[in-house]
Amino acid sequence: MAIDFLGLEAFLSIAERGSFRKAAAHLNLSQTALSHRIRKFEEGLGLKLLARTTRQVTLTPAGLDLASRARAPVEALNAALGELRAGAGSAQQSVTIGCLPTIAVHHVPRLLADFSAAHPAVTVKVFDNSASEIAERVARGEAEFGITIVSANRWDLDIVPLMTEAFVLACPAAHPFATRPHLAWSDLEGQPLVRVAPHTGNRALLDEALGARRDAMDWRYEVQHLATAISMVGAGIALAVVPRLAVDAAGTAGVVAVPLRDPAVVRRLGVVSRRGVPLSPAAEALLALLRQRFRPAAPARGRKSA
């Protein structure tokens, strides 16, 4: 049997107030509309619940029984719905995203400045993690979307491309390589190099692109983060092959980026979100600003990425 919640609400309101007039005012209904709800509710049950005279309204035995049984679960249901509404409201005031550290440093502060100006009541949490960590956070629902290296092996995530970025050689400005228009990988043989750990998306891209050629390189150091690698370049300890944006984001004095060829290696960045799960309005607004920011930064041949 389908539950007539409107009829039950009308009945309990009358039972609590003892008056059609007071119940109608509480429910913002006319007395005629309230009477119609009660009549329909009683007909659906096949029971008379109220005895109404010109002076008062009383409950029948069936009405007394229903009122005693229904009041507590209806109050609990109203409380649960209120909590859900409150939770939904607060959820709209917070957005959590994942982001590669290079993007977080170079783009996110200005992006959030624009977002906060338009949405001052919304708080934003950023997980500046590796590509694999971002994908997992989005898949688990810990972040609504992530800005990361595009990977085609995630069936549970939707991917929207943002930009393509080349890997370059980061080297000290005083190094002989610094003035070269570009370098081949063979030029790097014998040079002390620092690379990031195997679990990172950038390392996986380089290993795949170089194949056996990577064994000819002098990988003298290994670190966990691109920023650390750039700092080591700035100290003159080693050279590093990194995404172009990593050099810009680090802002290390005396470090320049030289294009690499033979092969040219790129990483594709995009936005990942859970497949089949819509974004909250606040996340949609933040994503719209993100797309606007990256639109003019689309890669152009021979031009430095922003």
Average pLDDT, the chain: 86
What is the C-alpha to C-alpha distance for residues 1 and 241, in angstroms, rounded to an integer? 69
- pLDDT tens readout for residues 166-191: 999 999 999 999 999 999 999 999 99
Average pLDDT over residues 24-39: 91
Count of H-run helices and E-run strands, the chain: 11, 12
Question: What pLDDT score does 303 carry?
Answer: 41
- pLDDT tens readout for residues 254-295: 899 999 998 889 999 999 999 989 999 899 999 999 888 877
List the one residue out of 58, 132, 136, 146 whose CA is nearest residue 103: 146
- pLDDT tens readout for residues 117-167: 999 989 999 999 888 899 999 999 999 999 998 876 677 889 888 888 899
Question: What pLDDT score does 288 carry?
Answer: 92
Residues in Cβ contact with 21 at an 8 Å cutoff, skipping those fewer than 6 apart: 31
pLDDT band at 200 (very low <50, low <70, confident <90, very high): confident
List the one residue out of 100, 110, 108 whose CA is nearest residue 225: 100
128 φ, ψ to 5°? -90, 90
Q: How far is CA 269 from CA 34, 78, 243, in A?
A: 59, 46, 11
Q: How far is CA 64 from CA 21, 40, 70, 92, 217, in A?
A: 20, 18, 10, 42, 86
Local structure of residue 297 (DSSP, 8 states): T
Beta strands 255-261 and 183-184 are parallel
